[in-house]
Amino acid sequence: MKAVYVTSFEQPSCRLEVRDNVPKPEVGPDTVLVKIKAAGINSIDKRIMGGQFFHLPVKPPFTPGLDGAGVVVEVGSDVTRFKPQDRVYAHSKKMGHFAEYVSLREVEVRHLPTEISFEQGAVLAIPYLTAYRAIVNRGKAKKGETILIHGASGPVGLACCQIARSLDLRVLGTASTAEGQQLVKENGADLVFNHKSPDHITQILDASDGKGVDLIVETNSSLNLQGDIKMSAKGGRILVIGNGPGQLQGSLAGLMPKEINIVGVGLVSATQDNHNEAYTFIESGVKAGSLVPVVGRQYDLDDTTEAIENLGKPKTTLGKPIIAMS
């Protein structure tokens, strides 16, 4: 089979190789062999492949790719939930999705809802699991609350908008381009603001009648935390899912009078039970049509280096980038 390998963490960029004639992974008693139809490209891949994400200890050579969708081709003797030909999607901390076949533990695999394509299935796991972890597990959002998704036009932000809308929250989102703002609106935001405009903090406060917002999902916390403190309501929760570039600046004094909570969100800390709860919610949302994964630019396996280099650059296509395979 064909597979991508990270062969070294040499800086400034990692070394990626696409290898042919790699043996297919072996099937153990509790594993499922999946032929990948589409693999998800996540913003964290760049750091993983550069050896800068220490929460998933891997050493080269390894095949990256945290999530994807495809068809079951073989199952181990102890596997009960799957059979060959089943359409599935998956997330595995052990990675391996940037390949034609991946062997996954049965618990890591889910049936792909019939309503969506393999390409959409590759968008499902990391963005929606992260959004659920932020809004439900960590944010404990309640119906009727106002949530600001800061950085709503990325894959995680769009998943947050859809999940927040499906929970009957009032959704405010930010994006810096006209196309991004349009997409954020189409995916559930009641109001959209430009995070590059100096006026967005005042505008968001005005949109919440001066009280501030109950929850903020923050993708660029080092840049935005000071503004978040200003935009938070009394007792508000700032859900930190991303740091962004640069160092945190300013004072935390504003936290005290409003008793604001800054809450860390880390998918790496979610348990299998957390994942199962989130997957059940996500799949019922997909079936109901309230959660609709947005596919971005599609690459071939041979173009993985380009795909990874493009992470963080201005996007030519919005939605989550994927590697599509026949």
Ligand X SMILES: NC(=O)c1ccc[n+]([C@@H]2O[C@H](COP(=O)([O-])OP(=O)(O)OC[C@H]3O[C@@H](n4cnc5c(N)ncnc54)[C@H](OP(=O)(O)O)[C@@H]3O)[C@@H](O)[C@H]2O)c1
Question: How far apart are the C-alpha atoms of 197 and 190, rounded to whole Å?
Answer: 19
In the region spanning residues 169 to 198, those forming contacts with ligand X, defined by CB under 6 A, are 174-177, 180, 195
| Rounded to 5°, angle at Cα 304 from 298 and 306 | 85
CB–CB of 37/71 below 8 Å?
A: yes
Question: Parallel, antiparallel, or unpaired for β 213-218 and 146-150?
Answer: parallel
Under the binding rule (CB under 6 A), the answer on residue 39 touching ligand X is no
Which of 92, 153, 162, 187 binds ligand X (CB under 6 A)? It is 153
Q: How far apart, in Å, are the Cα atoms of 8 and each of 11, 42, 58, 92, 195?
A: 9, 20, 11, 21, 36
Structure tokens given for 137: 């597990």
Which of 92, 224, 232, 304 binds ligand X (CB under 6 A)? It is 224
Tell me the closest approach of the beta carbon of residue 302 to ligand X, in angstroms: 23
Q: How far apart, in Å, are the Cα atoms of 209 and each of 5, 172, 213?
A: 52, 13, 10
**Which region among 21-29, 60-68, 94-102, 218-226 touches ligand X (by CB under 6 A)?**
218-226
Question: Parallel, antiparallel, or unpaired for β 109-111 and 101-105?
Answer: unpaired
Tell me the closest approach of the beta carbon of residue 122 to ligand X, in angstroms: 13
Tell me the closest approach of the beta carbon of residue 275 to ligand X, in angstroms: 12
**Which region among 6-14, 135-143, 168-176, 230-238 touches ligand X (by CB under 6 A)?**
168-176
Which of 64, 96, 121, 155 binds ligand X (CB under 6 A)? It is 155
Element (H or E) spanning 54, and its range? none
Under the binding rule (CB under 6 A), the answer on residue 265 touching ligand X is yes
Compute φ and ψ for 139, nearest 5 degrees: -85, -25
Question: How far apart are the C-alpha atoms of 74 and 71, rounded to whole Å?
Answer: 9
Under the binding rule (CB under 6 A), the answer on residue 221 touching ligand X is no
Which of 35, 46, 91, 150 binds ligand X (CB under 6 A)? It is 150
Tell me the closest approach of the beta carbon of residue 114 to ligand X, in angstroms: 26
AA identity, residue 49: M
| Neighbouring residues of 280: CB distance < 8 A, sequence distance ≥ 6 | none
Question: How far apart are the C-alpha atoms of 63 and 4, rounded to whole Å?
Answer: 6
In the region spanning residues 76 to 135, those forming contacts with ligand X, defined by CB under 6 A, are 126, 130
**Which region among 4-12, 114-122, 264-272, 276-284 touches ligand X (by CB under 6 A)?**
264-272
Under the binding rule (CB under 6 A), the answer on residue 267 touching ligand X is yes
| Rounded to 5°, angle at Cα 188 from 182 and 192 | 50
In the region spanning residues 277 to 296, those forming contacts with ligand X, defined by CB under 6 A, are none
AA identity, residue 25: P
CB–CB of 65/95 below 8 Å?
A: yes
Mask: binding to ligand X, 47-86, rule CB under 6 A, as x and -?
----------------------------------------
Which of 223, 229, 286, 301 binds ligand X (CB under 6 A)? It is 223
Which of 70, 188, 242, 285 binds ligand X (CB under 6 A)? It is 242
**Which region among 26-34, 59-67, 144-152, 275-283 touches ligand X (by CB under 6 A)?**
144-152
Which of 151, 212, 285, 293 binds ligand X (CB under 6 A)? It is 151
Q: What is residue 128's three-state secondary structure?
A: helix
Task: Give me the residues that bind ligand X (CB under 6 A), please.
Answer: 42-44, 126, 130, 150-157, 174-177, 180, 195, 219-220, 223-224, 241-242, 265-267
